[in-house]
Structure 1
Amino acid sequence: MDFSAKTGSAATLRTDCAVVGVYANGRLSQAAREIDAVAGNLISGLVKRGDFTGKAGATLLLHGPSGIPAKRLLLTGLGEQGKLDLKGWRKAHGAAVSALLKTAAKNAFSFLSMEDVADGEPYLLARHAAEAAEETAYRFDELKSKIDATPARLGRMTLWFPDRKSQSAAARGFTHGKAVADGQSLARRLGNLPGNICTPTFLASEARRLAAGNAGLKVSVVEEAQMKKLGMNALLSVSQGSRQPPKLIVMEWRGGPKQKAPVALVGKGITFDTGGISLKPPPAMDEMKFDMCGAASVIGTMATVVALELPINVVALVPAAENMPDGLASRPGDIVTTMSGQTVEILNTDAEGRLILCDALTYARRFEPSTVIDVATLTGACVIALGHHLSGLMSSDDPLAQEILRAGVDAEDRAWRLPIGEEYDEGLKSNFADFANVAGREGGAITAACFLARFTRDLKWAHLDIAGTAWKSGRAKGATGRPVPLLAQFLMSRAGVA
C-alpha cells in the first residue's frame, strides 16, 4: 500500500472514499461537519436517529453520498472527545482500513489526522497509520489451494496534513512505518508457516534471501559439526532428538562506524516444540509452530534495519532447532556442558528454549556487543503473569530496561518489567550440576530469566518473554509479529533517526 500526505477540503475532494471521524455521543469532527453542511445534514441525521454513535473503532460506510464528489463516505468512531490518544487513533485508523478493504475502493483520503491526538505530531500519526494499515491488510493464504480471486483493491491511502512542514514529517513517518510493518509482516509469515515447512534449514535460507542484493547485510550459518567443536552441547541436546539439523544463523549489519560495538539481538528459534520426552499435552500443540516467533521477530527486525539502512551496527543470532521425542532425545536428568563451560542438569526437556539461547548468548560475546537483547516465547508463566497484552521484560540493567520500555511505549508494542535477582536464582540449584534448567512453578518466567542471566554476566543484557504476545489463538489464530515494532523503535532511537 502506498501512503501520501496532502491538504484539502473534505467537502470538495475527489476520492473513492472520504474517511471522517465522529466522536462518542454524536459529536462531529471538523471534516464531518464540513461534509454535513453540504450533504443535507447527512451525518448529523444518522447520529440523531441513533444509527451511528461514534463508539471507538466503529465504522459505517455510505455509498454515493449526495453533495460531495467522494464516491463513498466512511464514518469512523473516535470515542470520547478530548481523550483521543495515539493508541485510540491507531485503532480507529485500523478499523477504517478494515472497512475499506471490504469495498472496491482503490484509494481513500483520511481526515482522521485532522483531530487533536495526545502526542500526535505528524510523524507519529503517519507512522502509526502506515503500520496499522499494513497490519490490518495482512493475510496468510499462501498454503490454501483456493484463495479469494479478488484481492483487496485499496492501493493508496492519503492523510490530511495542513502544510509542507507537516507533510514532510508525515512522509518520513510513512517511510518508517512501512519498513516496520514490512518487517512485522515477515515475522508473521515465518511464524504462521507450519513446522514441516519452516524448519531450521528454511529459516537459514530465509535469512540468506534477505541478504541477497543487500551488500550491508552479511549472513553466515554455524552448522552442527561446528557447534560440536565449539562445545554448544546445550543447543545440541535439544536438536538431537530431531531429524532436522540445528542451525545458528548469524546476521550482521554494519551501518555504523566500524569501531562502534554492535547491538546483539538473539531470537529463540524452536521451529516446533513437542516438549521432547517431557511431552506436551495434545490440545493446542499445533500452536507450538509459533515457538520460533522470537527468531521470526529478530529476522523481521533485521529486514526493517536493512530497508531503512539504519546507521547502526546490529548482529542478530538465531539458534534454530526442533524439539522432538526421538530415541536419541535428551532425558530428564541428563547433564550437559554448555559453550560457556557451565554444566546444566536438564530436569525438564520442555524447558528447551533457554538451552538453545544460552549457547547463542555465549557465542554473541565474540562480537563484543554494547547491548544484548534476547527474545523468546519462553514460558507459559509469563502468559499467566501478563496475559496477552504485554511482553515480559527482565534485566539487571536499569537504564537498558527503561530504554526498552520507552521504545515499547513509542511503538505501541508495550512491555512490562518483572523483577530478577538472587532470591529467584536460588531455585535453580542442582545436586549434580552447576545448576538446573528449571526451578519450581512459582515465578517461572523470572527463574527462566535467571537461568539466562548466568550466561550474560558483565554484559548489558535484557530478556523479552513474548510467550503471551507472539501469537493469537482462537478464531484470530496467527502470529502477531511482535515485538518487531518495539525492537525496531529501540534501534531507530539508538541510531538517532526516530
Structure 2
Amino acid sequence: MELEVIAGSLPEILCDSIIIHVSEGAMIPGGTTGAVDKALSGHISEIIRDMPECGKYGETTVIHTFGAIGAKHVILLGLGKQSELTLDKARALIAVGMRAARKLRAKTVVTTVPDTGVAEDCQTAQAVVEGAIMGLYRFKHYKTGKEDSPAIEKLVIAIQDGTKIDEYNEAMRLGKIIAESVNYARDLVNHPAQYMTPAKMAWHAAEIAQKYGLELSVLDKEDMEKQGMGALLAVAQGSVAAPKLIALKYAGAPAKPEVIAYVGKGITFDSGGISLKPSQNMDEMKGDMAGGGAVLGAMLAIAQIKPKINILAVVPCTENMPSGTAYRPGDIITSMSGKTIEVLNTDAEGRLILADAITYAQKLGATKLIDIATLTGACVVGLGSFYSGVITNNREWLAAVTTAAWQTGEKMWELPNDEAYLEQIKSSIADLKNSGGRPGGAITAGLFIGQFAGETPWVHVDIAGTSDTDKNKGYNLKGGTGAGVRTLIQLAANLGRL
C-alpha cells in the first residue's frame, strides 16, 4: 500500500473515503472534523446528536457525501473516551476504520492523526500506519476465488503543519517496515506444515539474508551431530523432514563486543510425538513455529531499519512426530551443553530444541539472550490470550525487554524465577527432566531453558496464548498474530541508541 502525507484542507482532498475521529461525549466537532462537518452542512453534528453511540470505541458510521466534498464517503470512527485513548488503541482503531473503508471498495483513504495525549504526533502517525497495514492483512495464498473487496491502494495522512512533512514521512516509513514484518511472520505461521517445513524456514531465512546482506549459516543433521546437539536431534528423529538450525546475523555495530541473540522455537508441526496430542485442534500445531517466525520477521525489519547493534537470530527447526524412530518417554538424551535430560513427555519438546539453540548462540558469541516460543499450554491457562509470560535471570535485561514491549503495545507479565521450582525438574537418573508436571508448568518450562543460559543475561517469552487468535479484533486478524515481532524490533532500536 502506498503512503503519503500532505498538508491541506481535508474537505478538498480527492479520495474515496475519509476516516474522521469522533470522541465519546463530544457533541460539537472541532478541528479537522469541524471543517468537514461545515462542508457537509452540519451533517456530522446531527449524527453525533442523534446517535451519540457513534463515538464509542470502535464504532463506525458511514456518511455518503454525494459530491459535497472531495471524498465519496466519510467514515466516523469512534475513539471512545478521549482520556482513555492510548497509542495502541489508536493503532487498533485505524485497523477497524480501514477495514470499513475496504468494505466500501475504497482505493484511496485519507485520515488524520488522533490526539492520544501520550505521544508525539509523528509517533502516532507511525502507529496509524502500523495499524492500517496490520489491520488489512489477509492470508490468501490458497484462495482460488476473487476477494469480495479489492485492496486499498493508498493511505494519506493529512496534517496542518507543512513544515513537518519530512518527519511524518520517516515515521510512516518505519511504520510500514514494522507492519509488513509482522505480516511476514503471520504468513509463516498461517502456511500449512506441508509447506512450512524446516527446509522452507531455512529458505525464507536465506531470502532475507540475500536481499539485505545478512550473514547466514544453516546447520543440517550432520552438522548438528558434529556439534553434539542431542536434544534437538532427539526431537527430530521421529520425522522424515530433516531438521535445520538457522543462524542469521545482523552486524550493525561490528566494533562492539555485545551480541544480542534472538532465539525462536521452530517446531513446524507438533503432533506431540509418542506422547500424542488429542486430535481436536491439532491442526493449530502448524503454528508451533511462531517464535521462530517472530524472530525472522524481526530480522526482516532490523535489516532495513539498521540499528547500531549486533543481533544474532538462532532458529532451531524440526517437526515433532511419532514413528518407529521417534524418541520415547524414558529416554536419556545429552544436550550440546553436556547436560543430560530424562524425557518424561515427548510433547515437552520445545524446551529441548531451545536448550541446544541457546548453547549454540553462546558459542557464536551471544552476550545477552532472549528466547521466544509457543512453549506451554500452562501459560495460556494462567494468562489467557492477552499477555505473554516472561521469566528472567537478570532484572536489568528484563526491564529492557518489557520496556520495548510496553512501547509497542505488546503485553507481557513476569513469572517468578524461584529456585524452589527447580525441584520439579530435577531427575534422579539425569541432570534434568523435561517436564515438571502440571503445577507451575509455564514457570518450570521456562526455568528448564534457563539452566542452559547459565550466567548470561536471559529472558524467556512464552507466546503460546498470544501467537494466534480465533477472531478479528483491532489489528489482529484470525490466525497468526505476529506476536513478539514488534517487541524484538523495538528492543533492537532501543539498544542501538545506547
Give the shorter-chain TM-score range.
Answer: over 0.9
Question: Could you tell me which residue of structure 1 aligns to residue 12 of structure 2?
Answer: 12
Please give the alpha-carbon distance, in whole angstroms, between the structure 1 residues aligned to 2:158 and 2:145. Answer: 38
Question: Could you tell me which residue of structure 2 aligns to residue 267 of structure 1?
Answer: 264
Q: Is the 8 A contact 2:348 2:435 kept in 1?
A: yes
1:293 equivalenced with 2:290 (yes/no)? yes
Structure 2 gaps of 5+ residues are: none
Deviations 1:396-432 (A, max 9, x none): 1101111111111111112111111211111111111
Question: Could you tell me which residue of structure 1 aligns to residue 128 of structure 2?
Answer: 129
Question: Could you tell me which residue of structure 2 aligns to residue 322 of structure 1?
Answer: 319
Deviations 1:270-290 (A, max 9, x none): 000000011101110000001
Q: Residue 228 of structure 1: CA displacement?
A: 1.0
Deviations 1:334-353 (A, max 9, x none): 00011100100000000000
Question: Could you tell me which residue of structure 1 aligns to residue 54 of structure 2?
Answer: 53
Please give the alpha-carbon distance, in whole angstroms, between the structure 2 residues aligned to 1:315 and 1:465. Answer: 20
AA of the residue aligned to 2:480: A
Deviations 1:34-65 (A, max 9, x none): 22223222111122222752111111122235
Please give the alpha-carbon distance, in whole angstroms, between the structure 2 residues aligned to 1:66 and 1:491. Answer: 47
Question: Could you tell me which residue of structure 2 aligns to residue 232 of structure 1?
Answer: 229
Q: Is the 8 A contact 1:239 1:246 kept in 2?
A: yes
Q: Is the 8 A contact 1:382 1:467 kept in 2?
A: yes
Equivalent residues in 2 for 1:75-474, closer than 5 Å: 75-111=76-112, 113=113, 115-148=114-147, 151-152=150-151, 154-215=152-213, 217-473=214-470
Q: Residue 26 of structure 1: CA displacement?
A: 4.9
Q: Is the 8 A contact 2:91 2:132 kept in 1?
A: no
RMSD of aligned C-alpha atoms? 1.7
AA of the residue aligned to 1:375: I
Q: Secondary structure at the match of 1:441?
A: coil
Q: Is the 8 A contact 1:22 1:29 kept in 2?
A: no
1:63 equivalenced with 2:64 (yes/no)? yes
Deviations 1:323-370 (A, max 9, x none): 001011111110001110010000000000000000010001122222
Larger deviation: 447-456 or 35-44? 35-44
Please give the alpha-carbon distance, in whole angstroms, between the structure 1 residues aligned to 2:337 and 2:423. Answer: 20
Q: Residue 322 of structure 1: CA displacement?
A: 0.4
Deviations 1:298-334 (A, max 9, x none): 0111100112233221110010010001011111110
Q: Secondary structure at the match of 1:71?
A: strand
Deviations 1:179-218 (A, max 9, x none): 1111111110010011111000110111111122322x01
Q: Is the 8 A contact 1:23 1:29 kept in 2?
A: no
Please give the alpha-carbon distance, in whole angstroms, between the structure 2 residues aligned to 1:187 and 1:21. Answer: 30
Please give the alpha-carbon distance, in whole angstroms, between the structure 1 residues aligned to 2:435 and 2:250. Answer: 34
Please give the alpha-carbon distance, in whole angstroms, between the structure 2 residues aligned to 1:29 and 1:289. Answer: 49
Deviations 1:455-485 (A, max 9, x none): 0011011101000111113686410011101
Task: With the length of structure 1 as denominator, give the TM-score of the two structures.
Answer: 0.95
1:2 equivalenced with 2:2 (yes/no)? yes
AA of the residue aligned to 2:418: G
Q: Residue 229 of structure 1: CA displacement?
A: 1.5
AA of the residue aligned to 1:386: L
Q: Secondary structure at the match of 1:11?
A: helix
AA of the residue aligned to 1:22: V
Q: Residue 260 of structure 1: CA displacement?
A: 3.0
Give the number of aligned pairs: 493
Q: Is the 8 A contact 1:39 1:66 kept in 2?
A: no
Q: Secondary structure at the match of 1:53?
A: helix
Please give the alpha-carbon distance, in whole angstroms, between the structure 1 residues aligned to 2:64 and 2:116. Answer: 28
Please give the alpha-carbon distance, in whole angstroms, between the structure 2 residues aligned to 1:69 and 1:52. Answer: 26
Structure 1 gaps of 5+ residues are: none
Larger deviation: 164-173 or 271-280? 164-173
Q: Is the 8 A contact 1:21 1:29 kept in 2?
A: no
Please give the alpha-carbon distance, in whole angstroms, between the structure 1 residues aligned to 2:122 and 2:316. Answer: 36
Please give the alpha-carbon distance, in whole angstroms, between the structure 2 residues aligned to 1:97 and 1:8. Answer: 21
Please give the alpha-carbon distance, in whole angstroms, between the structure 2 residues aligned to 1:147 and 1:273. Answer: 33
Q: Secondary structure at the match of 2:371?
A: strand
Please give the alpha-carbon distance, in whole angstroms, between the structure 1 residues aligned to 2:101 and 2:347. Answer: 44
AA of the residue aligned to 1:347: L
Please give the alpha-carbon distance, in whole angstroms, between the structure 2 residues aligned to 1:296 and 1:91. Answer: 22
Q: Secondary structure at the match of 1:181?
A: helix
Q: Secondary structure at the match of 1:213?
A: helix
Q: Is the 8 A contact 2:102 2:149 kept in 1?
A: no
Q: Secondary structure at the match of 1:116?
A: coil
